[in-house]
Amino acid sequence: MKIALTALTIALLATIAQAAPIVDFNGFSPLNTVLMLASYQGLDFSTADACCMYVFDGTSPNGNGTPALIYGFNDFVAVTQTGGGAFTLNSVDMTISWYDGNASEDITVVANWAGGGSTSYTLTLIQGLQTYALNYANVSSVDFYAVPSASGYWLMDNVNYNGTASPEPGTLALLGSGFLTGLGVLRRKLKF
């Protein structure tokens, strides 16, 4: 019985420690509406610029046919974990706007470390959605600046990160049933 209970516990813990979440914007609402904050699937995307960030409906010719975050022309978008705290930004899919006359654009990305300080990086975006491995560990936020030529926007999708995971309700139910089963087994053993 102890072996079965141990196996159940390990299976439940493995469910909680699942693969890194990916923000895909597929169920985001409202689409095609200018936003200053887009909170979705565990991350917040915010800007002080009240004109240029929104989740586009997926009809952008340079996207992948699904909704994606679009930002252009001015300041930057800060990516933080919903509720705060340190996280790891593993990768993002990004591209420049289809009407940008340049084949590529260098944008500035600033990783703000949870322990203080920041590091600035240059990310070269090209026409067509590409996956960019970032691997920024222990950050409190990551800022993605606008295309410097002001010739269009960038598009972001499939943001892969590791953060403070909050288990889904189904996982919590499994944990609860496993705990109650364990208590039942213990109770029976103590009676005999």
**54 vs 177 pLDDT, higher one:** 54
The mean pLDDT value of the chain amounts to 83
| pLDDT at 96 (0 to 100) | 95
**151 vs 155 pLDDT, higher one:** 155
CATH code for position 108: 2.60.120.260
Residues in the chain: 192
* % of residues, the chain, pLDDT over 70: 75
* Cβ-contact 159, 78 below 8 angstroms: no
**58 vs 175 pLDDT, higher one:** 58
Q: Mapping DSSP to helix (H, G, I), strand (E, B) and coil, where does residue 41 land?
A: coil
**182 vs 71 pLDDT, higher one:** 71
Peptide bond into 67 cis (omega under 30): no
Are 170 and 158 found together in one domain? Answer: no
Are 1 and 51 found together in one domain? Answer: no
Task: Round to whole Å and give the CA distance between 158 and 146.
Answer: 19
Are 10 and 82 found together in one domain? Answer: no
Task: Round to whole Å and give the CA distance between 162 and 164.
Answer: 7
Are 35 and 110 found together in one domain? Answer: yes
Are 31 and 42 found together in one domain? Answer: yes
Task: Give first-to-last CA distance, the chain, whole Å.
Answer: 15
Given a cut of 90, whether residue 23 has pLDDT beyond it is: yes
Are 85 and 121 found together in one domain? Answer: yes
Quickly state the pLDDT bin for 12 (edges 50, 70, 90).
very low
| pLDDT at 149 (0 to 100) | 79
Whole domain around residue 14: which residue ranges?
1-18+166-192
Quickly state the pLDDT bin for 21 (edges 50, 70, 90).
very high
Are 57 and 94 found together in one domain? Answer: yes
Are 28 and 83 found together in one domain? Answer: yes
Beta bridge partners of 91: 133, 160
The total number of structural domains in the chain stands at 2
Are 9 and 57 found together in one domain? Answer: no
Are 133 and 69 found together in one domain? Answer: yes
Are 116 and 156 found together in one domain? Answer: yes
The structure's pTM equals 0.77
Quickly state the pLDDT bin for 82 (edges 50, 70, 90).
very high
Task: Tell the residue number behind the tokens 């046919």, with chain if given.
Answer: 65
Are 77 and 159 found together in one domain? Answer: yes
